[in-house]
Amino acid sequence: MAVVATPLSSALVVVYQDGLTALGAPIKKQKSLNYLRFDAPEEALHNAAHALYSLSQNPVLDVLYRKTFELTDE
């Protein structure tokens, strides 16, 4: 049985530091950038995320690339 993966959506999630707790641990927040091209190179997305957040005072902790597919039987 063959399975077909149909792309549905993609998002770039940027996790950044927004201050420190009373104990000194970083406060993490995230922002999603949706409706990305499925064929976009991962390196370009990584560079774009860092370029956008270089304009902010908050340092980037993680960059995540989420793709959602629908799996159907062929």
In the chain, where the domains are located: 3-73
Tokens matching residue 47: 């560079």
What's the half-sphere exposure (Cβ side, CA atoms, 13 Å) at 54? 6
Tell how many helices (H) and how many strands (E) occur in the chain.
Answer: 1, 3
pLDDT digits (tens, 9 = 90+) for 13-71: 999 999 999 999 999 999 999 989 988 999 999 999 999 999 999 999 999 999 999 99
> Could you give the CA distance from residue 65 to residue 14 in angstroms, rounded to a whole number?
9
Single pTM value for the model: 0.80
* Euclidean distance between CA atoms 36 and 25, whole angstroms: 32
